[in-house]
Amino acid sequence: MNELFLVTECGPKNRRVQYRRDHLTGLQCRIAPDRVRRSINVAHRPDAPEDEVPCVFCPERIHSETPVFPDGRRIAVGESVTFPNLYPFAQRHVVTVMTEAHNPAVITAGQIEDALRGQIAAFCTDDGYVSCNWNYLPSAGASMLHPHMQGVADEAPTYYAGLAIDQSAAFCRRTGRTYRDFLIDREMGGPRHLFGDELPFFAHAVPLGEKEVRAYLPVRCIDELEPWCGLLAEGIERVESLYRGAGHYAYNMALVCDAAGKPDGGFRAFCSLIARINPGATGMSDSAFMERMHLEPIVLTLPEDLAGLLP
């Protein structure tokens, strides 16, 4: 065992992902050297492949050129299509393409709901820590312009999910009530309550990013989310229009769940969105949902390889 950090690995041989945790601070990162091959660190020129239509997520190609689950299929719900990520950085990592349109002017609540249902279908029997995430537009870290969600599941939670789950359990032991109940009691009808009663959406008091909005669900795991998809999607659409009205087009979303295989410690799932301040329509940001919502960066280079890069 390393005295400075904990390291574990997952993934097939040519797509290894290292998980590292700093023993001093508990902070975590993931290192995915093979993601370099995706050319995500080259400059996006205006004539770069981004303008190649149809892209692999467009209806002309998605049904023949994207990976399939072990049973040979993809999950279709409404317009959405869900399949394994070709470049995973989690033990289980799926992509849900949300719309047939490559770059739709608006994404409707119905399309968001179908995408969430696709993610749920992919993970409903998973006993790990699941989150459903969305980088909307390259300036929010999306590597493909075509709107898509990403679901990830691991045996251990991401850094921020772990904090929220552990501290919710500690709160519940201390006070005998869930933190969700406590927070809703305090925030309902107050200046940060944006809308919603059964499923309230609040401006988050200590934001992770610009204009963070959170919805607090009354359930713990992904397999319990299905009845809430409609209300959640309507709320997400409303937050999207709030962002557009305020001049933001790009945003990140994370729907954080507990592990079905673990006992109920009092954590309840929440869905969080942050607006991004667009640096430019074609520029792809190197910070996406893992960096901004889970506080667990994905990096490309092993620290042990840096010395070899010295000139």
Q: Among residue numbers 73 through 132, which ones bind Zn ion (CB under 5 A)?
A: 102
Closest contact distance (angstroms) between CB of 174 and Zn ion is 49
Closest contact distance (angstroms) between CB of 137 and Zn ion is 13
| Binding of Zn ion by 146 (CB under 5 A) | yes
Q: Which is nearer to Zn ion, 102 or 262 (CB)?
A: 102
Site string for Zn ion, 214-233 (x = CB under 5 A): --------------------
Closest contact distance (angstroms) between CB of 64 and Zn ion is 14
Q: Which is nearer to Zn ion, 86 or 302 (CB)?
A: 86
User: What number of other Cβ atoms are within 10 A of residue 15's Cβ?
Assistant: 17
Q: Which residues of 134-172 are buried (b: 16+ CB within 10 A; e: fewer)?
A: bbbbbbbbbbbbbbbbbbbbbeebbbbbbebbeebbebb
Q: Which is nearer to Zn ion, 60 or 305 (CB)?
A: 60
Site string for Zn ion, 30-69 (x = CB under 5 A): -------------------------x-xx-----------
Q: Which is nearer to Zn ion, 57 or 267 (CB)?
A: 57
Q: Which is nearer to Zn ion, 92 or 146 (CB)?
A: 146
Q: Which is nearer to Zn ion, 100 or 181 (CB)?
A: 100
Q: Among residue numbers 170 through 209, which ones bind Zn ion (CB under 5 A)?
A: none
Cβ–Cβ under 8 Å, residues 287 and 133: no
Closest contact distance (angstroms) between CB of 62 and Zn ion is 8
Q: Which is nearer to Zn ion, 58 or 124 (CB)?
A: 58
Closest contact distance (angstroms) between CB of 47 and Zn ion is 17
Edge-to-edge order in the sheet of strand 148-154 = 75-77, 80-84, 92-97, 148-154, 129-136, 251-256, 270-275, 210-216, 201-203, 193-195
Closest contact distance (angstroms) between CB of 50 and Zn ion is 10
| Binding of Zn ion by 248 (CB under 5 A) | no
Closest contact distance (angstroms) between CB of 282 and Zn ion is 15
User: Interface residues with Zn ion (CB under 5 A)?
Assistant: 55, 57-58, 102, 146
